[in-house]
């Protein structure tokens, strides 16, 4: 079956294209783009989609997803996680290795890829662990992880505290030109903190995590990346100080890319008031100044990528004492409209916003994804930019409902998601629920 999308506003930052046109998909690839396209061959073999008043975008690429499988299937599975991704417009997602067992060897990588092939709605790219068991001590068999299909390495969820281990990991990764991702957090400075350290933590009597806990490690990683020449990618940047350090390092030519997440540019620590465990994540929500600096970092390109850090947790895990609830929120199904709020507020242009969800993350992992070039895989999504809706977690495809955005009025709806030329999600399905 071929697909012809007619009359949509095609926005493809990789090719600086933004025009109302038609797009033809044949055999899972983008075959032609142009006005008034006619399908080759018999009409019945081509499904026609009316894209009038819709945006036709490259499928989104998420560098930071916790699929939880294997080990924590009660939170999320590869099946439900990729369904949530499809519903959010994502067609390629990278999954973090903090599963049980940890993805620190090729059998786990194979298992994830095989399961994703069988049950996944979207492309899944596993990220391997830097160290065995993500314990921060001995390097994993990084070469074998790469061979099995890992696209990067990280001990996400934890930092690599030992700077010598991090240095060796970066050097070793050079052999494969593999990006090394760090969750920047000094464990000693974090202690047993549960939210940003500041006025709100003082009022609530909760233990604080200072911005310095992140910034100290951002600085260390930048220094090591400069020393080793490794490709460094910094996960979920949340503070003004981190943005400043990355900006300075990029100015000196350090090979670094960085991501932030929608919650860091949409919320502040104020969201924690009332001991709201759905506003508990790591790094924590910061101050208004930090939020604004993150926005500025996105605008000036210091922060290349918007990733979700989709971190599903079961209701009973979140519905408890703040100190004892796990860190993290789901994000796949709210990322687009939150990003579009930055467009509405004039922080990003539409093209910049789309680039940060598509071609820029794809480039970090050297994936031939996130663009609408002729011959490219037909991974794309259709977005109704004017549609308004209210966030109701019960309607999420994700198995978990832990979002701080419940009840938010959103503008911009993913109407359809297409992977390799096949529809994997459409809003009609939503209405059927």
Partner 1 sequence: MTLKIKDLISIKDLDRDELRLILDTAESFKEVGARDIKKVPTLRGKTVVNLFFEPSTRTRTSFELAAKRLSADLVNISADSSMVKGETLLDTARNLEAMQADLIVVRHPCAGAPALLAQKMTSAVINAGDGAHEHPTQALLDLFTIRARKKTLEGLTVVIVGDILHSRVARSAIHALKMVGSSVRVVGPPTMIPREIMNWGVEVFYQYDEALKGADVIMTLRLQLERQGRSLFPTIREYSNLYGLTARRLSMAKDDVLVMHPGPINRGIEIAPDVADGLSSAILSQTTNGVAVRMAVLYLLSGVAKHEPVDPQRTPH
Give catalytic residue positions.
Answer: 309
Q: Minimal distance in Å, beta carbon 242 to partner 1?
A: 20
Cα 160 from Cα 145, distance rounded (Å) = 18
Residues 172-201 that bind partner 1 (CB under 8 A): 198-199
Q: What is the DSSP string of 357-423?
A: HTHHHHHHTT-S-S---TTSB--EEEEEEEEEEE--GGG-SSS----TTTT-EEEEEEEEEEETTEE
Question: Based on CB atoms, which residue is closest to partner 1, 212 or 387?
Answer: 212
Interface segment toward partner 1; rule CB under 8 A; list 61-69, 204-212, 329-337, 367-375: 204-212
Q: Looking at beta carbons only, is 192 or 432 nearer to partner 1?
A: 192
Q: Which residue, 110 or 199, has its beta carbon nearer to partner 1? A: 199
**Residue from 174, 202, 227, 374 in contact with partner 1 (CB under 8 A):** 202
Among 15, 17, 132, 207, binds partner 1 (CB under 8 A): 207
Q: CA Rg, the chain, in Å?
A: 21
The number of residues that bind partner 1 (CB under 8 A) is 17
How many whole angstroms separate alpha carbon 94 and alpha carbon 61?
A: 8
- DSSP category for residue 162: -
Question: What does each C-alpha distance from 365 to 14, 92, 263 come to in angstroms?
Answer: 15, 11, 23
Q: Are 8 and 52 in contact (CB under 8 A)?
A: yes
Q: Among residues 52, 162, 319, 388, which is the contact residue for partner 1, using CB under 8 A?
A: 319
Indicate whether 289 belongs to the interface with partner 1 (CB under 8 A): no
CB of 322 to partner 1, least distance (A): 5
Rounded to the nearest 5 degrees, what angle is found at the Cα of 366, between the Cα atoms of 365 and 368? 120
- If the CB atoms of residues 20 and 204 are measured against partner 1, the closer one turns out to be 204
Q: Does residue 204 belong to the site contacting partner 1 (CB under 8 A)? A: yes
The 3-state secondary structure of 181-240 reads EECCCCHHHHCCCCEECCHHHHHHCCCEECHHHHHHHHHHHHHHHHHHCCCEEECCCCCH
Residue 182 β-bridge partners: 234
Query: What is the rounded distance in angstroms from the CA atom of residue 303 to the CA atom of residue 411?
Result: 24
Given candidates 42, 251, 253, 316, which one binds partner 1 under the rule CB under 8 A?
Answer: 316
Q: Can you tell me whether residue 267 is helix, strand or coil?
A: coil
Residue 279: CB minimum distance to partner 1, A: 12
Q: Which of 320, 366, 395, 422 binds partner 1 (CB under 8 A)?
A: 320
Q: What is the β-pairing status of strands 55-58 and 380-390?
A: antiparallel
Find the binder of partner 1 among 118, 251, 253, 324 (CB under 8 A).
324
Residue 346 binding partner 1, by CB under 8 A: no
| The pair of three-digit structure tokens given for residue 266, joined into one six-digit string | 């949409």
Max distance between CA atoms of the chain, in angstroms, equals 69
Q: Which span (127-135, 255-263, 313-321, 410-418) binds partner 1, by CB under 8 A?
A: 313-321
Under the binding rule (CB under 8 A), the answer on residue 135 touching partner 1 is no
In the complex, minimum distance from the CB of residue 203 to partner 1, in angstroms, rounded to a whole number: 8
Draw the binding track, 71-110, toward partner 1 (x: CB under 8 A; -: no contact): ----------------------------------------
Pick from 367, 390, 379: which is nearest to 424 by CA? 379
Taking the complex as a whole, the smallest distance from the CB of residue 212 to partner 1 amounts, in Å, to: 12
Which letter does DSSP use for residue 271 in this model? G
Among 274, 346, 375, 407, binds partner 1 (CB under 8 A): 274
Cβ proximity to partner 1: between 5 and 200 the closer is: 200
Tell me whether strands 2-12 and 17-26 are parallel, antiparallel or unpaired.
antiparallel
When the beta carbons of 200 and 364 are compared against partner 1, the nearer one is: 200
Residue 326 touches partner 1, criterion: CB under 8 A = no
Nearer to partner 1, 200 or 391 (CB): 200
Q: Does 275 bind partner 1 (CB under 8 A)?
A: yes
- Report residue 267: phi and psi, to 5°: -130, 165
Q: What residue has token string 């696209």?
A: 151
- Nearest residue (CB) to partner 1, 105 versus 276: 276
SS3 252: coil
Does 205 interact with partner 1 (rule: CB under 8 A)?
yes
Give min distance, CB of 273 to partner 1, in A: 10
Q: Which residues are near partner 1 by CB under 8 A?
A: 198-199, 202-207, 274-275, 316, 319-324
């Amino acid at each position: 079956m071929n697909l012809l999308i007619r009359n949509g506003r095609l926005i493809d930052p990789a090719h600086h294209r933004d025009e109302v046109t038609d797009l033809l998909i044949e055999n899972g690839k983008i075959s032609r783009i142009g006005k008034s396209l006619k399908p080759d061959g018999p009409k019945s073999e081509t499904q026609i989609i009316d894209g009038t008043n819709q945006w036709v975008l490259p499928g989104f690429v998420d560098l930071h997803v916790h699929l939880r499988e294997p080990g924590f299937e009660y939170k999320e599975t590869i099946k439900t996680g990729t369904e949530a991704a499809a519903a959010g417009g994502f067609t390629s997602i990278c999954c973090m290795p903090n599963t049980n067992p940890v993805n620190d060897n090729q059998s786990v990588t194979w298992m994830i890829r095989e399961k994703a092939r069988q049950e996944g709605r979207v492309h899944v790219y596993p990220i391997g662990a830097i160290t065995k068991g993500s314990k921060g001590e001995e390097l994993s068999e990084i070469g074998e992880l790469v061979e099995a299909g890992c696209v990067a390495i990280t001990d996400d969820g934890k930092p690599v505290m030992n700077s010598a281990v991090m240095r060796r990991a970066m050097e070793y990764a050079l052999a494969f030109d593999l990006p090394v991702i760090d969750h920047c957090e000094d464990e000693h400075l974090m202690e047993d903190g549960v939210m940003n350290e500041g006025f709100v933590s003082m009022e609530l009597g909760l233990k604080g995590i200072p911005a310095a806990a992140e910034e100290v490690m951002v600085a260390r990683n930048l220094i090591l990346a400069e020393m080793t020449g490794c490709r460094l990618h910094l996960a979920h940047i949340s503070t003004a100080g981190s943005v400043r350090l990355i900006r300075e390092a990029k100015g000196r030519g350090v090979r670094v890319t960085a991501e932030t997440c929608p919650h860091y540019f949409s919320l502040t620590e104020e969201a924690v008031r009332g001991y709201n465990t759905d506003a508990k994540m790591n790094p924590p929500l910061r101050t208004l100044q930090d939020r604004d600096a993150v926005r500025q970092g996105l605008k000036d390109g210091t922060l290349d990528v918007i990733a979700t850090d989709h971190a599903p947790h079961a209701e009973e895990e979140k519905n408890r004492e703040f100190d004892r609830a796990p860190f993290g929120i789901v994000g796949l199904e709210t990322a687009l409209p939150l990003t579009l709020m930055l467009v509405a507020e004039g922080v990003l242009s539409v093209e910049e916003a789309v680039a940060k969800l598509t071609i820029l993350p794809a480039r970090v992992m050297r994936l031939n994804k996130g663009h609408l070039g002729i011959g490219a895989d037909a991974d794309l999504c259709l977005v109704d930019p004017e549609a308004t809706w209210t966030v109701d977690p019960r309607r999420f495809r994700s198995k978990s409902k832990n979002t701080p955005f419940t009840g938010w009025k959103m503008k911009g709806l993913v109407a359809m998601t297409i992977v390799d030329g096949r529809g994997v999600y459409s809003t009609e399905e939503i209405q059927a629920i």
